[in-house]
Amino acid sequence: MSKDFWNKRYSEKQFAYGTLPNDFYKEQIKKLKSGNALFLGEGEGRNAVYAAKLGWQVDAVDFSTSAKEKALRLAKEKNVEINYKVVDLENFQPKESYYDLVVMIFLHLPDVLNQKIFNDSILSLKSKGKLIIETFNKEQINNSSGGPKNPELLFSEVDLLKLTPRLRTKLIESKIINLNEGNYHIGKANVIRFIGEKI
C-alpha cells in the first residue's frame, strides 16, 4: 500500500490500531531488562510509547508524517519521550550493535525489502539482543480482520526462519487469535509469533 494510503489512514481522528500495545509484544517486553529499542513501521506509536513507559530508550521509524504526529501526541499524553524518524525503510540504516531489542508488529513488505530490513535489524542488535515479531501468516488472506490482500506480502514460518539465520530462535508459532486493535484489526486472525536472539 502507498504512502498516501497510510498518511490518509493515520490522518483520521481515531487511532487506526488503537493506543494500547500489541498483546504478544506487551507480554514479551515485560520479561526484558530495559535498554535501547528500535520499532520499525511503528505507525501511530502505541508499541513504542509503551516501551518508553517501561523505561526503554526508544527509536521509532515509519514513512508516514501523520503517523509521527499522532505518535508524538500519544507520547506527550503518556508523559514519555520517543525519538521518531520519518523515513522510507529502504533508506533507513540503523546503528550497528546498538539495540537490545528490535520490534516489528504487522510489518508487511516486499521480499527484497524484507531481506534488507531483517539483515539491517540483526546487524543493529547487540549480542543477546532480541527481535520480536508478530505478523500475519498466509492463512490471513481468508480473514477480514486486517493485513495485506496480496499473499506475497504474508509470511510462513519458513519465510521468517530464512530471514533470521543469524538468530537463535527462542519462539516461533502459528496461532489463530482474536484481534481487537482499533478500527482496522478486529476479529479472527492467523498470525505468526517469533522471538529471536542474536548469537
pLDDT tens for each residue of the chain, 199 residues long: 577 888 888 888 899 999 999 999 999 999 999 999 999 999 999 999 999 999 999 999 999 999 999 999 999 999 999 999 999 999 999 999 999 999 999 999 999 999 999 999 999 999 999 999 999 999 999 999 999 999 999 999 999 999 999 999 999 999 999 999 999 999 999 999 999 999 9
Sheet holding 125-136, edge to edge: 83-86, 57-62, 36-40, 99-105, 125-136, 185-198, 167-181
Q: Which helix (H) or strand (E) element contains residue 37?
A: strand 36-40
CATH dotted code for 3-198: 3.40.50.150
Annotated domain spans of the chain: 3-198
Closest CA to 82 of 51, 124, 117: 51
